[in-house]
Chain A
Amino acid sequence: MNTNNEAIRAENIFKSFGELTVLRGVSLAVKRGEVVCIMGPSGSGKSTLLRCLNWLSPPTEGTIWLGGEVLGLQETSNGKRVVLPDSKLRRQRSRIGMVFQSFNLWPHRTAIGNVMEGPMIVNGASKIEARRLANEILTRVGLADKVDVYPAKLSGGQQQRVAIARALAMQPEIILFDEPTSALDPELVGEVLDVMKSLATQEITMIVVTHEVEFAKDAADRILFMDEGLIVEEGSPLEFLENPKEERSRQFLERYLN
C-alpha cells in the first residue's frame, strides 16, 4: 500500500452528485516524476476525478493516499474514518497544486502578487523571500517582464502561465492540470504547453486532463482513457494513440484525430 515511490494513489473512487454517479470506481497510482495524461469525452468524469484528488470535491467512496498518507480523512481511536480537521487538510492541500481551465487568478493582485500569496500566507514566508521566489518562478515561465502587471492586462496564455507559477510556488509534490489550454485562443496554446513540457522534463509529477494529443505524445509517460466514470484503458502514449485496444478508445480517437 505505502510505496514511497508513489506521489499519489487512488483506490476505488466513487463520486455522486445526488442521484447522478459520475465516478464509478476509479483507481490509479502515479509515481513520483511521472507525467500522466487523462483523456476522454466530456462527461466522462475527468475533471471530477481531478477535483477528488485534491479534496476540492471529496469522493463519496474510496481512499486516496498522498505520498503514503491518507488524504482528507483520519482514523479515530476506534478505527472509524472521519474528516480531517481543517488545519491538517489545508496542509495536505498545499502539497497538491492545481491549474484550472479558467485560470482563476485573483484579479486584485498583480502577477507576482498572485504567485506570492500562497508562500506568504500559507507557508509563512516573509514578503521579501516570497517576492524573490515568485520572481524566480515567473522568470522560469517566461514572464519576467510582467511581474507587476494585473491579470486584466495579460493575455490568456500569460494568465495561465501565472497560474502555473502560482502552483509551482508552493513547491507541491504533484500538480494537477484541468484542461489548461481549453479556454485559450489557438495561438496562445503553444506558450502554455511549452511551459508544461519543460516542467515535465524537470521530474515534476503531473496529472494533466487534456485534449492536446501532441502534448500527450511528447511529454506523457502514460495516458489514461476515461469514459462514463471509469478508466477504460491505459498505456504509453505510443501504444494508446497508435494501437488502442478498446473499441471506445478507438471511436474517441477517430473523432478527435479526424
Chain B
Amino acid sequence: MELSIIFEYAPMLLQGLQLTIVISIGGIICSLTLGSVLVALSRSGIRALVILVRVYTEIILGIPVLVLLYLIYFVLPEVGIRFAEIPTGLLTLTLYYSPYMAEIIRGAINAIPTGQIEAARTVGMSNFQIAKRIMVPQALGLAIPPLTGICIGLVKDSALLSIISVHEFAYQTKQAVARTFAPFELWAFVALCYWAILSIWEVVMRKVERRVTRYRETG
C-alpha cells in the first residue's frame, strides 16, 4: 500500500473537496427554497396546485437520483434545455431533495401549537408577522435534527456528480486513481475524509440545536 501517494495528490483532491462543499451548500439552500415553495403551494387550497405538488413528489420519490441526473443531463437537451455540468448537478440535487425538505418544513410548522398563533392574532399581529416572529424561530429548532440527516444525504449524493464530470471530490479522486493506479488506498482515504467531515457536521449541528432550543429547558 502506497501511503505517500495520498500526500502527493492531496492538493488536487482538496480542490475537489472545495467544489463539493460549494455545491452541497448550494444544493441545500436551493432545495430548502423549493421545499418551502412546495409547502406553500400545497397549503394554497387551489386544487390544481395541490395535485401538481403531489404528482411531482411521487415521481421524484420513485426514481433513483442517478436516473434523475441522466434525465436532466441526457434527455433535456433533446427537448432543447441544456445546462452545463455544475448547474445540471445542482438542479438534480435541488429537485431530488426538495420533497424531503418540504416534509421537514411541514412537520416543523405543524408542531407549533395553534394556541400560540391564536394568541398572536388576538394581540393583532398580521399573518406575515406571525410567520416571521412566532413560527419560523421555533420551526428552525424543530427542523434541525431531521434537516441534518437530509443534508448529509445531499452531500453524499454530490459524489454522483463526478459521473457527469463535475470536478468535485470524487471526480478528483478518479483522476488521481487514473494516474497512480493505487485505487484502493485513494478511495479508502477519501472515504475516511467524507466520514470525518460528515461526523463533525453532525456533532456541530447537535450543538447548534441545543443552543437554539435552550428556551425549552425546564427549571
Contact = CB atoms under 8 A, between A and B. Distances in A.
A122 interface: yes
Nearest to B138: A108
A108 B133 CA distance: 10
B218 A56 contact: no
B218 A152 contact: yes
B219 A122 contact: no
Given A56-B121, A102-B115, A106-B116, A86 B133 contact: no
Interface stretch (A2-10, A93-101, A246-254): A93-101
A83 interface: no
Contact of B129 (A109, A121, A153): A121
A166 interface: yes
Interface string B174-202: 00000000000000000000000000000
Nearest to B114: A104
B211 interface: no
Given A56-B122, A91-B124, A104 B115 contact: yes
B215 A107 contact: yes
A105 B115 CA distance: 9
Contacts, number: 76
A150 B212 CA distance: 13
Contact of B218 (A117, A122, A153, A167): A153
A25 interface: no
Interface string A163-186: 100110010000000000000000
B124 to A, nearest CB: 3
Nearest to A107: B215
B153 interface: no
Contacts of B123: 93-94, 117-118, 122, 166, 170
A90 interface: yes
A54 interface: yes
Contact of A86 (B126, B134, B141, B218): B126
Interface in B120-165: 120-127, 129, 133-134, 137-138, 141
A50 to B, nearest CB: 11
Nearest to A51: B118
Given A117-B133, A121-B133, A150-B215, A100 B119 contact: yes
Interface residues of B, number: 24
B215 A152 contact: yes
A200 B115 CA distance: 26
B216 interface: yes
B217 to A, nearest CB: 6
Contacts of A87: 126
B124 A106 contact: no
A153 B215 CA distance: 9
A100 B115 contact: yes
Given A117-B133, A121-B133, A90 B138 contact: no
B138 A107 contact: yes
Contacts of B137: 108
Given A86-B126, A152-B218, A93 B119 contact: no
Given A100-B118, A102-B115, A121-B129, A108 B124 contact: no
Nearest to B215: A150
B144 to A, nearest CB: 14
A108 B212 CA distance: 9
Contact of B119 (A94, A106, A153): A106
B10 to A, nearest CB: 44
A117 B123 CA distance: 9
B121 to A, nearest CB: 6
Q: Which of A90, A94, A96, A97 has the most CB of B within 10 A?
A: A90
Given A106-B134, A107-B138, A122-B124, A152 B217 contact: yes
A170 B124 contact: yes
Contacts of A153: 217-219
Given A108-B137, A152-B216, A121 B125 contact: yes
A107 B216 contact: yes
Contacts of B219: 152-154
B139 to A, nearest CB: 10
Closest 10 CB pairs of A and B: A94-B124, A153-B219, A104-B119, A104-B115, A118-B123, A122-B124, A98-B122, A150-B215, A90-B124, A93-B124
8 contacts: A54-B122, A87-B126, A93-B121, A104-B115, A106-B119, A117-B125, A122-B124, A122-B125
